[in-house]
């Protein structure tokens, strides 16, 4: 299977490293514990952020997620010092439901360029999905996200039945209102910039996380 991105759900990063205690991400390098989801590049990104803030990246203690271990619950309970969160979900939960103040550190503020995430991708080796099919799919997807932006309560009423575990309508409205701010850059929905892909790929190669010869930017995405 040859995956190729065709739609960027978010035009900017809606995630952050969060802590209830650390006022600067550099403090993670002082032997503090970061709760990791075991995601690719995650630990390298966190250590780079600490270093770019003047801290010791190697001083971060990594505690990796085990099974259904909930890292955000562990953060709130003080068992770890920081973890990665999704601002329109855990961030909203902390503010509106838990009454907890979070210190949030967005990767782009610490020298880590945004790599489109999440994206909708397709199997580019498939002969069943021609350009017309892809264009129609992307157009319908744009229409759906545009509708969610313009009709928050309608979107929540449609989507809430799929939440597991269930969430209150109030929480889902707060969450939807926040994520709506990330769907568009003010001019487009879903579209991807070659330069953004290049910036992230170059960062990965400079950190030794990817071989430059293995990257073909134009094979990674297209805007149907």
- pLDDT greater than 60 at residue 68: no
* Band of residue 128 on the pLDDT scale cut at 50, 70, 90: confident
- pLDDT greater than 70 at residue 157: yes
- pLDDT greater than 70 at residue 37: yes
Compute the chain's Rg from CA coordinates: 19
- pLDDT greater than 60 at residue 41: yes
> What is the pTM (predicted TM-score) of this model?
0.92
What is the CATH superfamily name and number for domain 1-223? Periplasmic binding protein-like II (3.40.190.10)
């Amino acid at each position: 299977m040859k995956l190729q991105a065709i739609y960027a759900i978010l035009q900017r990063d809606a995630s952050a490293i969060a802590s209830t205690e650390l006022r600067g991400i550099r403090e993670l390098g002082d032997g503090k514990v970061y709760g990791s989801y075991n995601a690719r590049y995650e630990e390298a990104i966190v250590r780079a952020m600490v270093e770019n803030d003047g801290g010791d990246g190697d001083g971060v203690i990594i505690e990796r997620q085990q099974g259904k271990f909930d890292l955000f619950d562990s953060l709130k309970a003080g068992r770890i010092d920081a973890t990665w969160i999704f601002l329109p979900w855990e961030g909203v939960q902390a503010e509106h439901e838990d009454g907890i103040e979070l210190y949030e550190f967005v990767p782009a503020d610490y020298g880590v360029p945004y790599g489109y995430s999440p994206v909708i991708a397709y199997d580019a080796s498939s002969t069943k999905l021609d350009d017309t099919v892809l264009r129609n799919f992307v157009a319908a997807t744009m229409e759906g996200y545009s509708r969610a932006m313009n009709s928050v309560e309608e979107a929540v009423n449609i989507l809430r039945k799929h939440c597991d575990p269930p969430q209150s309508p109030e929480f889902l409205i707060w969450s939807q209102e926040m994520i709506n701010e990330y769907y568009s850059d003010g001019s487009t929905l879903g579209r991807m910039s070659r330069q953004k892909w290049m910036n992230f790929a170059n960062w990965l190669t400079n950190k030794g996380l990817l071989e430059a010869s293995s990257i073909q930017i134009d094979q990674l995405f297209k805007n149907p």
